[in-house]
């Protein structure tokens, strides 16, 4: 007998007992006789209800305690070159977007070099001059050829050959000018790349957690300048028993439980499985599992621990 049917039968017995107490002693035999019929009707009603509403399969939630919470993205930013910190207008706690300007070194010399390279790359004087020279040389050569076509031997063959060579030389000078232009464009791009090493930009959305230096400070290559953290999500890492690993897949929904007095969260934050280690397990028979959990109000912080609740995939019948 199912749990629900048992409860209904007990309710029916209780109803029969109340009816027994309310009727006169003379009519109690009739009530007692009707009690089995009441039980049968109750059981039939329950069976019809279960048949009309098929049971839904629910997967057992896997709870992993003492899971570590880590920052979703965290980076220490520094310059690729030494210099003097020229501009840093940020404060700790400021929010930034990917691509935002953060800080720069003094770059007067590098900027001047880039400006010169840009002007040279954009100049077309040599190309235009070479094109005109090639047109003149070609015209001279054609005129000599036409003179000999009108009257053979009018122009010595040596002069015709010399005119042809001058035209070929002009074409070579034109190609050289175009090649030089490509070289200058490359030098301009190189100067721009050098100039970019004097500035820092945000690699992702986040907020500033720490500033290591101030404007005017001497900076060595690779020195820590700014710490940036993305708190829109967090990573939750735990150890999953191997016996449960086959039911946990990337994308399975999860929740985490943290003491509300610590986070201030009214509900359990939700997310999904990001990674289940299929390569190795610990001697205790556990595998590493990582989940990403949304943190829209920044109430979850790296360094805390939580219980990870995983809703695994249902076992196939």
3-state helix/strand/coil string of 233-271 = EEEEEEEEEHHHHCCCCCCCEEEEECCHHHHCCCCCCEE
d(CA 254, CA 261): 21
Query: CATH classification of 62-72+231-310 is 2.40.30.170, yes or no?
Result: yes
pLDDT digits (tens, 9 = 90+) for 44-67: 444 434 333 333 334 589 999 999
| pLDDT confidence band for 104 (50 / 70 / 90) | very high
Instruction: Write the CB contacts of 76 (distance below 8 Å, at least 6 apart in sequence).
Output: 224, 226, 227
Cα pseudo-dihedral 29, 30, 35, 40, rounded to 10:
140
d(CA 12, CA 2): 15
Backbone angles phi, psi at 170, to 5 degrees: -65, -40
d(CA 91, CA 97): 15
Q: Which residues pair with 294 in a beta bridge?
A: 233
Highest mean pLDDT among 35-39, 152-156, 184-188 belongs to 184-188
* Structure confidence at residue 154 (pLDDT): 80
d(CA 193, CA 240): 47
- Higher per-residue confidence, 56 vs 143: 143
Q: How far is CA 195 from each of CA 110, 112, 151, 223, 244, rounded to the nearest angstrom? A: 6, 10, 64, 18, 53
What three-state secondary structure class fits 96? Answer: strand
Q: What is the pairing mode between strands 95-96 and 270-276?
A: unpaired
* Structure confidence at residue 95 (pLDDT): 95
Q: CA quadruple 286, 288, 294, 298: dihedral positive or negative?
A: positive
The residue ranges of every structural domain in the chain are 3-52, 62-72+231-310, 107-197
Name which of 72-76, 132-136, 264-268 the model is least confident about.
Answer: 264-268
Give the tokens for residue 49.
């209800």
Q: Is the pLDDT of residue 313 over 50?
A: yes
- What one-character DSSP code corresponds to residue 55? P
């Amino acid at each position: 007998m199912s749990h629900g049917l048992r409860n209904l039968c007990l309710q029916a017995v209780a109803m029969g007992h109340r009816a027994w107490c309310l009727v006169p002693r003379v009519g109690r035999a009739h009530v007692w006789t009707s009690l089995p019929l009441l039980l049968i009707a109750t059981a039939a009603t329950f069976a019809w209800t279960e048949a009309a509403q098929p049971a839904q399969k629910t997967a057992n939630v896997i709870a992993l305690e003492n899971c570590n919470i880590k920052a979703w993205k965290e980076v220490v930013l520094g310059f690729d070159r030494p210099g003097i910190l020229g501009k840093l207008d940020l404060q700790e706690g400021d929010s930034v977007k990917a691509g935002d300007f953060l800080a720069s070194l003094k770059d007067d010399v590098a900027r001047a070099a880039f400006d010169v390279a840009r002007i040279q790359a954009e100049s077309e004087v040599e190309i235009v001059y070479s094109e005109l020279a090639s047109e003149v040389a070609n015209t001279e050569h054609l005129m000599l050829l036409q003179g000999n076509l009108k009257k053979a031997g009018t122009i010595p063959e040596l002069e015709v050959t010399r005119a042809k060579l001058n035209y070929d030389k002009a074409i070579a000078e034109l190609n050289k000018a175009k090649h030089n232009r490509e070289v200058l464009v490359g030098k301009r791009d190189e100067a721009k790349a050098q100039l970019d090493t004097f500035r820092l930009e945000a690699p992702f959305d986040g907020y500033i957690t720490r500033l290591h230096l101030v404007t005017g400070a001497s900076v060595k290559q690779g020195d820590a300048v700014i710490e940036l953290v993305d708190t829109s999500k967090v990573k939750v890492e735990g150890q999953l028993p191997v016996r449960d690993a086959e039911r946990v897949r990337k994308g399975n929904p999860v929740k985490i439980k943290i003491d509300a007095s610590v986070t201030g969260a009214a509900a359990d934050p939700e997310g999904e499985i990001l990674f289940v280690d299929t390569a190795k397990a610990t001697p205790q028979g556990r595998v590493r599992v990582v989940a990403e959990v949304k943190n829209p109000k920044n109430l979850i912080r790296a360094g805390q621990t939580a219980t990870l609740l995983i809703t695994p995939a249902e076992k196939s019948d």
